[in-house]
Structure 1
Amino acid sequence: MSALRGKLALITGCTGGIGKATAITFAKQGLNIAVHYNSASSAAEELVHDLTSLGVKAAAFQADMGSYDAVRRMHQEVVAKLGNPDVLFNNAGMAGKFIGKTGEIQDVDMEMFEKTWKVNCGSSYLLTQLCLPYMESQKFGRIVFCSSVAAGTGGVIGPHYASSKSALHGLVHWIAQRYARDGITCNAVAPALIIDTGMMANPGPENLKLIPVGRFGKPDEIASVVEMLVGNSYMTNKIIVVDGGWTASAF
């Protein structure tokens, strides 16, 4: 990670559990941080304060990830204030309607389906598209998507969420192969049931039965995997599953 000192990381959904933990982990390694948030302005400013106290540059940038225009504006503001991102962690996401493993597909209408896909996949694609030209020009870049174990198992939320996360895997595989010779790596981390996040603030006890290690995951445990993916220049085109043993292998 010492080679990344002084480089800029843009983290979407940065005020949530995984995003915040990753920002702090990166800052401790000397990376400057562009903190994206949607509505949690106070939390974003508090995080910026904590990051700058670690001796790095940091600033907060607002955008609704359900609006492509807002994503474009946010990227422009990041570049104007901090420069072009060298590292992009596409972490922002939404669960949408929880219908569980036994819900009816009719319970998720097309409006909810498309909104979930736009936030979880479309805006991450757009932001990657915006960041890649600079990475390509400098022959260096790190792109990480935050997927979910739901992409391989169907998960516990619903088909809209699971399918939006599995779509990220296709992006990883295409981007990784296309830009590998340009010094750009592209990977995804696929967590399962991480507490202390907005999405899984109060997971039901029945979900614990899915996890062989007998407990839910923590944001720091996902941040450590993202740190590894960003620090490793030889690992690309991979989906790293962090699920307490729920799945037997990668998917």
Structure 2
Amino acid sequence: MRGLKGKRVVIAGGATGIGAATAGRLAEEGASVVVGDINLAAAQATVKDIADAGGAAVAVGFDLGDEGSVQVLIDRTVAEFGGVDGLFNVGADLSADTLGRDGDLLEMDPAVWRRTHDVNLLGYALTCRAVLPHLLSQGGGVIVNTSSGAAWGGEPTRPAYAASKAGVNTLTRHIASRWGKEGIRCNVLAPGLVLSEQLVRHFDARQLALALEAGRSPRLGEPADLAGAAAFLFSDDAAWISGQTWSIDGGVSLRG
């Protein structure tokens, strides 16, 4: 892909799954990456894999739900690589205590909603706010956010998660509209069910089979599927794409 060599990209939530796959793909394309994650040990393991393959990467421990921690992530990126050209937001609270307790509205725990939105939505707003001045000062840059098909799927459970992801779509359109003329491109990847270790633990064999049946692909998604799409959006090949929400879900949702 054109224009990725030498770029400096922050992966907010890059220790495992889609984030780790995207960090590896961007490094393979010649970008330098900062792998930020609340799980520092896993982030360091991802960085080691990238370094062993000849790429440039740094691990930073941070929490999307903590404003000060978010600022540290961006500051460390600038200190390590002399600037920043892109941000990939992919982190979410998928823990049993948060996503696992996200029942229907009559079973609602306000604490679950607050934590979900603090990480999945407000956290993205904070990372975008922290990186935007750097992107604007150099004449532009790229932000890619991660949403979910749950944002429009109408599931009977997980309303806090779905609402947070719908908010990510809106946040993305705001950024693309407000700063597009100043060289900022902002897009969303909305994955379906991806066979990452974080997501699979929330689904049993029956649910996985139903997800496969719902799609128009012979298989379920893998982190590499999202990594390829993200790398394209960061590249110069996607220079005229902004404000878009792409469903990367094997054809589960057919959206014009």
* Same-fold status (TM-score > 0.5): yes
Question: Structure 2 vs 1, CA of residues 155 and 194 (structure 1 numbering), >3 Å: closer, same or farther?
Answer: farther
Could you tell me which amino acid in structure 2 is paired with residue 31 of structure 1?
Answer: A
Deviations along 1:126-178, one digit per CA (max 9) or x if unpaired, are 11111111111211201000000001113475100000000011111111122
How far is the alpha carbon of 1:216 from its aligned partner?
Answer: 2.1
Q: Structure 2 CA distance, aligned partners of 1:240 and 1:171?
A: 15
Q: Structure 1 CA distance, aligned partners of 2:116 and 2:133?
A: 27
- The residue correspondences of 1:181-220 to structure 2 (distance < 5 A) are 181-201=181-201, 203-204=203-204, 205-210=206-211, 211-212=214-215, 213-220=217-224
Q: Decide which of 227, 241, 248 is 2:247's aligned counterpart.
A: 241
Say if 2:16 and 2:42, in contact at 8 Å, map to a contact too: no
Query: Is structure 2 residue 78 aligned with structure 1 residue 79?
Result: yes
Say if 1:169 and 1:188, in contact at 8 Å, map to a contact too: yes
Question: Structure 2 vs 1, CA of residues 217 and 137 (structure 1 numbering), >3 Å: closer, same or farther?
Answer: same
Deviations along 1:204-240, one digit per CA (max 9) or x if unpaired, are 2234324323532110011111112111111111000
Secondary structure, in 3 states, of the residue corresponding to 1:85?
Answer: coil
Q: Structure 2 CA distance, aligned partners of 1:87 and 1:17?
A: 19
Determine which structure has the larger helix proportion and give its number: 2
Question: Structure 2 vs 1, CA of residues 245 and 156 (structure 1 numbering), >3 Å: closer, same or farther?
Answer: farther
- Provide the aligned length of Structure 1 versus Structure 2: 247
Secondary structure, in 3 states, of the residue corresponding to 1:222?
Answer: helix
Q: Which residue of 2 aligns with 1:174?
A: 174
Q: Which residue of 1 aligns with 2:48?
A: 49
Deviations along 1:82-133, one digit per CA (max 9) or x if unpaired, are 2332110011112323368xx5313231111011001001011111111111
Structure 1 stretches of 5 or more lacking a match? none
Q: Which residue of 2 aligns with 1:131?
A: 131
TM-score, normalising length: structure 1: 0.91
Say if 2:13 and 2:37, in contact at 8 Å, map to a contact too: yes
Structure 2 stretches of 5 or more lacking a match? none
- The residue correspondences of 1:108-187 to structure 2 (distance < 5 A) are 108-155=108-155, 158-187=158-187
Say if 1:11 and 1:89, in contact at 8 Å, map to a contact too: yes
How far is the alpha carbon of 1:42 from its aligned partner?
Answer: 2.6
Secondary structure, in 3 states, of the residue corresponding to 1:34?
Answer: strand
Secondary structure, in 3 states, of the residue corresponding to 2:198?
Answer: coil
Q: Name whichever of 169-178 and 19-28 sits farther off.
A: 169-178
Say if 1:150 and 1:156, in contact at 8 Å, map to a contact too: no
Q: Which residue of 1 aligns with 2:57?
A: 58
Q: Name whichever of 124-133 and 46-55 sits farther off.
A: 46-55
Say if 1:38 and 1:63, in contact at 8 Å, map to a contact too: yes
Query: Is structure 2 residue 227 aligned with structure 1 residue 223?
Result: yes
Say if 1:4 and 1:31, in contact at 8 Å, map to a contact too: yes
How far is the alpha carbon of 1:61 from its aligned partner?
Answer: 0.5
Q: Give me the CA root mean square deviation.
A: 1.8
